[in-house]
Amino acid sequence: MLYLCGAFPSGKLKSRHMRSRIFFLFSFSILFSLSLMAQTGGIRGNVFDKNSGEPILFGTVVLEGTTFGTNTDLDGFFSIPNIPVGDYNLVVTYVGYDSLSVPVQIKSGQYTYQRMFIQESSIQLGTVNVSARKEKAKTDVQISEVTLTPKQIQALPSTGGDPDIAQYLTVLPGIISSGDQGGQLYIRGGAPIQNLILLDGMTIFNPFHSIGFYSVFETETIRSVDVLTGGFNAEYGGRISSVIDIRTREGNMKRLSGLVSASPFMARGVIEGPIKKLEADGGGSSSFMLSAKHSYIDKTSEYLYSYAKSALDSTNTLPFNFTDLYGKVAFLTGNGTKFNLFGFNFRDGVNYQAASLDWNTSGGGFDFTVVPPNSNLIFGGTVGYSDYLISLKESGEDPRMSQIGNVSAQLDFTYFGGQSELKYGILFNGINTDFVFRNFLGVTIKQEDFTTELGGFLIYKQRIGNWVIEPSLRIQLYASQGNTTLEPRFGAKYNASKRFRLKFAGGMYSQNLLSSVNERDVINLFVGFLTGPEQTIYLPGSQTPANNRLQKAIHGVAGMEIDLADNLELNLEGYYKGFTQLISLNRNKLTQQDPEFATETGEAYGADLTLRYETPHLYLWGTYSLTYVFRDNGEQVYPTVFDRRHNVNLLASYAFGQNNQWELGLRWNYGSPFPFTQTLGFYPFVNFLEQGLDTDPKTDNPPLGIIYTDQLNGGRLISFHRLDASLKRTFTFSKTLNMDVTASVTNAYNRRNIFYIDRKTAERVDQLPVLPSLAVTMHF
């Protein structure tokens, strides 16, 4: 017995022995970590274009003779952690630029900041874009994502000779526009309200003007546009279909510059320059940028395009006008920390003979990125406020009005590991709505509400061999709904070889915001907003209460990328979106007692194919989309009005002549027919609720009511196709002064593309006919 006790400690002694072991291991781990930190350091910095001060996107930064390296981000920022102490050469390379090598010293437990300026070489910029895109493709999951640059947008033949993102978006796979005037943007089966549009981190509720060629964004101020058509990670929330994330650049930090431009459609201008110049030897810098554009097509169309009357007006003019203003002040410190202030005001108006519509969006805010001196962690945030007000006045009708105010704040943190990256953040969103809508039966629908949304997200990206994996999680609290959603998401990419990559993504999504625009509308210029219902809603076609009052969806995407040649890329993706609950405003309610909201379910699935060829002189882009979009209202499953089965886009841009002073652009689009609900007959519509029960239908001369077929969207219109062309000539007067003259034609062969047919008069209304134009832009 004594032998046993001596050989095997008692329970108390054993417990004490285990605690001692744990304490020893814990202490050793801490000492080992501190020792490792003491033996390593890190380097971070920014890479800029030497002449313009513009950041270099996705450039390669390595420590010569080692395996330590990374790529710069959209701000030209890079960070390399956990480097053994010592002296190194830091090398930055970027195709189209001369490489640069700088000696650096890595100190124990410290981060060194290095600002680098590289000089553009004789290699053309077209090759640079290819290189940057391929570097990003290797290291990011990048599924259902297209990144646009201003140069790509400017290469597209544009209406009026004024390049705009609104015209470029419809070239992208999976994106459908319903028309030139008041048309809506549908992305892989999602309605416009289900698209999250961001400008420098702030939500823009109505980004497109009533004449559908133009957005509120000035192309010359844009740094990048990320279009995520599905399967996006947990950084984005509050929408169930897609994201368009637009980031503006800082003003020129080297010299005063800008542009002025005029065309038959509008005039625009940009001025920018340094407040304190960006210097190579470090120190802080700052700049400003102002942009403005104003349309006058409502005046010029009477003389230049009198044949192109508006689809909604009987006069021979295009009664659209808009004004967009944007300003930004940027500050950059000597260690990479930056701070931006911005503000905007966007106005839009349409003046018909019998109605007028006006909307205005204004707001402002600031964003910042802080780079602590000796940490693998950087953090940033955005705070902003915006207000959107729209009103529609029709003769003999009560006005419609909608106002939405939004206060938002977000704080995010990014931790850089050797082969990993961890990003997490929290956000607050306050929404105030004021909505008044009177339907054709005289029933008024109103909402005055204030609600808040709180969210948090966590994204972990890890490179493991040939894999890049990106699990993420979003938590969203909807205060007015008393509901918290847990939304797991996942993305992955497998680099099978240098030229072949497989990718996958999926997740769960939710949103509370609704729109007054119905998915069945072909055209609706009045775009109002409401928050989700706070009363009981019911499952489609039943009296069974729904278990929540949110719109929800699940996404699944799989695809592959193939580099067929050095300048030829193919991308193929298949996708599925299951809309498990959709909520819409019941605009046709007969009495005040009827429910204000209706529910549906739906699904969208299909495939997108993209082929891209790019050289310094020639840019070719082709896309094909196969799409199926259905809704289920509990009574029948039917295709939506934007269920375009086949969509093809072909784009070509060719630069030629001395110093590429000429540029020819062509764009051709084909779309298969949209669905519509067919008319069965007519009847005299007598509104007894408004006129009284003693109304005599025989003498009242009531308006016509329409009897529709039972099958929703059972018919199809005719197919759409259009050719746009442009020719640009650049005149160079000096190193900093040049002029672009652009001749363009929209709908070059004057195709009669149907917009809709007036059911009561049987009059066919077409989209815009051939529109030639000449634009002049002076850069200084």
Quick one: pLDDT at residue 22?
A: 43
Quick one: pLDDT at residue 520?
A: 57
Quick one: pLDDT at residue 1?
A: 33
* Across 421-427, average pLDDT: 96
* Across 115-140, average pLDDT: 66
Quick one: pLDDT at residue 664?
A: 95
DSSP 8-state assignment for residue 171? T
pLDDT band at residue 495 using 50, 70 and 90 as cut-offs = very high
* Across 685-700, average pLDDT: 66
Q: What is the pairing mode between strands 111-118 and 40-49?
A: parallel
pLDDT tens sequence across 544-582: 999 999 999 999 999 999 999 989 999 999 999 999 999
Residue 300's nearest CA partner among 308, 291, 292 is: 308
Q: Length of the chain in residues, anyone?
A: 780
Q: How far is it, in rounded angstroms, from Cα 340 to Cα 332?
A: 9
Q: What is the pairing mode between strands 754-757 and 764-766?
A: antiparallel
Longest dimension (CA), the chain: 117
pLDDT band at residue 5 using 50, 70 and 90 as cut-offs = very low
pLDDT tens sequence across 358-373: 999 999 999 999 998 8
pLDDT tens sequence across 32-66: 444 444 578 889 989 998 888 889 888 889 999 89
Please determine, for residue 75, whether its predicted confidence score (pLDDT) is greater than 50: yes
Per-residue tokens: 641: 């009005």
Number of Cβ atoms within 10 Å of the Cβ of 629? 26
Please determine, for residue 6, whether its predicted confidence score (pLDDT) is greater than 80: no
Identify the sign of the CA torsion 134, 165, 75, 277: positive
Q: How far is it, in rounded angstroms, from Cα 508 to Cα 604?
A: 15
Q: Element (H or E) spanning 168, and its range?
A: helix 165-169
CA 775 to chain centre: 27
pLDDT tens sequence across 227-237: 999 999 999 99
- φ/ψ (deg, to 5) at 741: -115, 120
The CA–CA distances, whole Å, from 643 to 54, 306, 331, 605, 638 equal: 42, 33, 46, 11, 10
* Across 673-678, average pLDDT: 92
pLDDT band at residue 671 using 50, 70 and 90 as cut-offs = very high
DSSP 8-state assignment for residue 543? S
Quick one: pLDDT at residue 31?
A: 46
Quick one: pLDDT at residue 316?
A: 63
pLDDT band at residue 309 using 50, 70 and 90 as cut-offs = low
Q: Is 778 exposed, middle or buried (0-12, 13-18, 19+ CB in 10 A)?
A: middle
- Range with the lowest mean pLDDT among 7-16, 533-542, 556-565, 687-696? 7-16
Please determine, for residue 129, whether its predicted confidence score (pLDDT) is greater than 60: no
Per-residue tokens: 20: 């001692």
The structure's pTM equals 0.88
Task: Output the average pLDDT for the chain.
Answer: 87
CA dihedral 473, 477, 481, 485 (to 10 degrees): 20
Residue 96's nearest CA partner among 133, 67, 69 is: 133
pLDDT band at residue 491 using 50, 70 and 90 as cut-offs = very high
- Choice between 120 and 235, residue whose per-residue pLDDT is larger: 235
Please determine, for residue 128, whether its predicted confidence score (pLDDT) is greater than 60: no
pLDDT tens sequence across 204-259: 999 999 888 899 999 999 999 999 999 999 999 999 999 999 999 999 999 999 99
| Amino acid (1-letter code) at residue 717 | L
In sequence order, which residues have a C-beta less than 8 Å from that of residue 66 and are 6 or more positions away? 83, 88
* Summary count for the chain: helices (H), strands (E): 8, 45
Cα of first residue to Cα of last residue in the chain, in angstroms, is 98
pLDDT tens sequence across 159-201: 888 889 998 999 999 999 877 766 678 999 999 999 999 999 9
**Percent of the chain surpassing pLDDT 70:** 88
User: Are residues 499 and 553 in contact, defined by beta-carbon separation less than 8 angstroms?
Assistant: no
Q: Is 87 exposed, middle or buried (0-12, 13-18, 19+ CB in 10 A)?
A: exposed
Q: Is 29 exposed, middle or buried (0-12, 13-18, 19+ CB in 10 A)?
A: exposed
